[in-house]
Amino acid sequence: MKDTLRYYQLISALLDPAKDGASVRQLLEAYAFQWERLVYIGSNSLVIPALYLQIQRKGLKALFPEDLTDYMEEITRANRERNLAILQQMEQLSKCFAEAGIVHVYLKGAAMIGGSYYQDTAERMLRDIDILIAPGDQMKAYQLLKQQGYVEVAAEGLQYKTLSDYERAKHLPALCHPQEIATVELHNHLHNTFQRERLKTAEVIGNAIEAGFPIPAPGDLLRHNIYNWHINDFGGIKLDIHFRSAYDTLVLLQKEKGLKSLLHTDGVARQYAALLSPFFDGVPARFNWRVALMKAKLQRPRFNQLWYRVVFGSIRFFQILPSRLRLFAKSGVYRKRVLQVLQKGR
């Protein structure tokens, strides 16, 4: 089945806490799904453990092939072990920062598992530990972790930038430790330059709560989750949803009933919710041109490819052009590399 929309409907029906197994049964009876495609989409959205656990909770395991559920169960088991190790790493990080008097707040997935928002620690997959550091303490925290044995992760652009460049960026270079399981990113800000006024570092730190770990207040956690996908990861330009972000939103709305008003009052949250609304019952419906285009993209692979290459590609090019021009003017190493690439392309 090339119609990605149907797979989105199946995944959302499984993830949505407001839906029982009946809607999943109807989809499975109506359409012939390719399980490899389901795994591909679920893996790209980092929701295989959440899907497996919801299949279990909704009593649907018998409806899926045994080799598929065995595979999902193994991924879930491994992710549970990894997240338990991440929680131990977070304890060590917090102890280190507390002894040095560094105010910090865990963000995104680290905040979600640290705040015990899920029934099962395995539900949330995360790549790294994101930590917001109080203004003025970022470099102190960075150097402290390097003293503890953390080292910089080789990343694109690192060889062209100085630490002072990163001090103005969203986060400092990622750090990893040979004996720890997760990479650590110390954040100066929650958003890229042109969106920083939406969620300010000082406000998030000032509103933070202690829930076993210092994490953002529920409203800030929800806003950051929404803004991170819709703005930082360009979900609003891609006209697409990310199921991990959507699932975090559903979990937060279920735990914190008063947060639903944000989906009506915040402009970015309204756009985000509009794209979720065709798939999740608990999200206020708001059909508009973005929703129509998203559905068309999901049903027509060629149109989806065209959108990414032409529309999304063009917008991203003009967004990154000013920063790359500044880097070209400032860094001789970067200039040399660009010129080498251009010469090879001749």
**What's the pLDDT score for residue 52?**
98
**pLDDT tens digits, 58-114:** 999 999 999 999 999 999 999 999 999 999 999 999 999 999 999 999 999 999 999
Model confidence, pTM: 0.89
Percent of the chain past pLDDT 70, that is, above it, reads 90
Domain ranges of the chain: 4-299, 301-346
Alpha helices in the chain (DSSP H): 4-15, 21-30, 35-44, 48-57, 66-99, 108-114, 138-147, 163-167, 201-207, 218-227, 235-238, 243-255, 262-265, 267-276, 289-299, 301-306, 313-330, 332-344
> What is the number of other CB atoms lying within 10 angstroms of the CB of residue 34?
11
Report the alpha-carbon distance of residue 157 to residue 326 in Å, rounded.
13
Report the alpha-carbon distance of residue 82 to residue 58 in Å, rounded.
25
Q: Give the DSSP H or E segment for 185.
A: strand 183-187
Which has the higher per-residue pLDDT, 26 or 158?
A: 26
Strand partners, 312: none
Amino acid making up residue 170: K
Which two structure tokens, joined as six digits, stand for 166? 């990163």
Report the alpha-carbon distance of residue 119 to residue 286 in Å, rounded.
30
Band (193; pLDDT cuts 50, 70, 90)? low
Q: Does the pLDDT of residue 175 top 70, yes or no?
A: yes
Pick the CATH number of 4-299 from 3.30.460.40, 3.30.450.20, 1.20.1300.10, 3.60.10.10: 3.30.460.40
**What's the pLDDT score for residue 158?**
47
Q: What angle do CA 75, 81, 87 make, to 5 degrees?
A: 130
Mean pLDDT for all residues in the chain: 88
